[in-house]
Amino acid sequence: MELDLDRQEHGRSEIDIDGTLALDLGEGTPETIALNGQLVVQNLESRFLLNGTLRAVGRAQCWRCLGDFELQWEVPVEIMVLRNVDTDEQESETLLILQRRGVVELHESLRECAVLAYPQSPVCSSGCQGLCATCGVDLNRESCACRQEDYDPRWEGLPG
Ligand SMILES: [Zn+2]
Ligand SMILES: [Zn+2]
């Protein structure tokens, strides 16, 4: 996951991203993720623009049932490498790397993109039933007696 500034073709080319990195966002989030896909590189002499959408995959915890599952999410990437390292340029949307020549290590910037795109409350499937709020049973696997209490008792005793 690096970009060799001295060996990039002029104009537009593509680089393959295929690697793993530590995400480390806290409990329930993937420790490490696999990141892969393609980025378009535009070599504009004084700057390099990297653009594209990568795919991240990692083991995460479902917010509803707390089970482990393979979470996938899309990671939009927009990175600019400025060769004028004395610049005070600020781009709000774009990650900036200042480096004149040689190999740029993209690890940290790609991690930042993956963190920004991390889903808010990932669930193992859209139909996940979650855990029973009363007894804690995983409602995807078994049912429990507590569910009866979902019925509104006010209906009971009404004439039929
Ligand atoms: Zn779940
Ligand atoms: Zn229950």
Give the ligand whose atoms come closest to the C-alpha of residue 64.
1
Strand-pair category, 47-61 with 68-82: antiparallel
Residue 39 has pLDDT above 70, yes or no: yes
Give distance in angstroms: CA of 156 to centre of ligand 2: 21
Give distance in angstroms: CA of 144 to centre of ligand 1: 17
pTM assigned to the model: 0.82
- 113-133 pLDDT tens trace: 999 999 999 999 999 999 999
- 45-103 pLDDT tens trace: 889 999 999 999 999 999 999 999 999 999 999 999 998 877 777 666 788 999 999 99
Could you tell me the pLDDT band of residue 31, with boundaries at 50, 70 and 90? very high
pLDDT at position 155: 58
Q: Which residues fall inside 5 Å of ion ligand 2, going by CB?
A: 132, 134-135, 137, 144, 146
Ordered alpha helix ranges (H), the chain: 107-116
Could you tell me the pLDDT band of residue 157, with boundaries at 50, 70 and 90? low
